[in-house]
Amino acid sequence: MANPLYQQLERDNDVLVLGAGVVGINAAYWLAKRGRQVTVIDRREAVALETSYANGGQVSVCHAEPWANPRAPWQVLRWLMDSQAPLSFRPRLDAQQWRWLLQWLLECTPARTRRNTIGIVDLALHSRELLKQQRQEHGLDYHQSSQGIVHFYRTESAFKAAQSVSHLMRDLGCNRQVIDTDRVLDIEPALSAVKRRIVGGTYTADDESGDAHLYTRAMRRVCESMGVRFVMQAEVQSVRAVSGGVEVALNRRDDIDLPTGDYALVRARDAVVALGTASTALLKPLGINLSLYPAKGYSMTVPIATDDMAPTVSLTDDENKLVFSRLGNRLRVAGMAELVGYDPRIDRHRCAAMAEQVKTLFPHIRAYDQTEYWAGLRPSTPSNRPYVGPSRIPHLWLNTGHGSLGWTMSCGSGERLSKMMLLA
Ligand X SMILES: Cc1cc2nc3c(=O)[nH]c(=O)nc-3n(C[C@H](O)[C@H](O)[C@H](O)COP(=O)(O)OP(=O)(O)OC[C@H]3O[C@@H](n4cnc5c(N)ncnc54)[C@H](O)[C@@H]3O)c2cc1C
Amino acid at 28: A
Report the alpha-carbon distance of residue 417 to residue 161 in Å, rounded: 34
Asked if residue 7 lies in contact with residue 255, where contact means CB atoms within 8 angstroms, the answer is no
Considering the rule CB under 6 A, would residue 51 count as an interface residue with ligand X? yes
Given 16, 76, 87, 274, the residue binding ligand X (CB under 6 A): 274
Given 17, 40, 43, 326, the residue binding ligand X (CB under 6 A): 43
Minimum CB separation from ligand X for residue 182, in Å?
26
The DSSP annotation for 293-350 comes to EEEEEEEEEEE--TTS----SEEEETTTTEEEEEETTEEEEEEEEEE-SS-----HHH
> x/- site string to ligand X, residues 17 to 36, per CB under 6 A?
--xxxxxx------------
Q: How many residues bind ligand X (CB under 6 A)?
A: 42
Minimum CB separation from ligand X for residue 125, in Å?
13
In this complex, which beta carbon is closest to ligand X, that of residue 181 or of residue 213?
A: 213
CA dihedral 346, 348, 351, 353 (to 10 degrees): -150
Minimum CB separation from ligand X for residue 245, in Å?
19
Which window, 15-23, 142-150, 224-232, 346-354, contacts ligand X (CB under 6 A)? 15-23
Considering the rule CB under 6 A, would residue 414 count as an interface residue with ligand X? no
Give the three-state DSSP class for 1: coil
> Count of CB atoms within 10 A of residue 81's CB?
7
Q: In the chain, what are the helix, strand and coil shares in percent, each to the nearest 5?
A: 40, 25, 35
Q: Look at residues 333, 299, 368, 347 and name the one whose alpha carbon lies nearest to residue 84.
A: 347
Asked if residue 150 lies in contact with residue 315, where contact means CB atoms within 8 angstroms, the answer is yes
Q: 59 to 118, contacts with ligand X by CB under 6 A?
A: 60
Given 31, 184, 278, 333, the residue binding ligand X (CB under 6 A): 278
Q: 196 to 255, contacts with ligand X by CB under 6 A?
A: 235-236
Considering the rule CB under 6 A, would residue 323 count as an interface residue with ligand X? yes
Minimum CB separation from ligand X for residue 407, in Å?
3
Which window, 5-13, 57-65, 80-88, 99-107, contacts ligand X (CB under 6 A)? 57-65
Q: 365 to 404, contacts with ligand X by CB under 6 A?
A: 376, 378-379, 400, 402-404
Burial 264-284 (b: 16+ CB within 10 A, else e): bbbbbbbbbbbbbbbbbebbe
Report the alpha-carbon distance of residue 209 to residue 215 in Å, rounded: 11
Asked if residue 311 lies in contact with residue 317, where contact means CB atoms within 8 angstroms, the answer is no
In this complex, which beta carbon is closest to ligand X, that of residue 225 or of residue 238?
A: 238
- Contact set with ligand X (CB under 6 A): 19-24, 41-44, 48-52, 55-58, 60, 235-236, 274-276, 278, 297-299, 323, 334, 376, 378-379, 400, 402-408
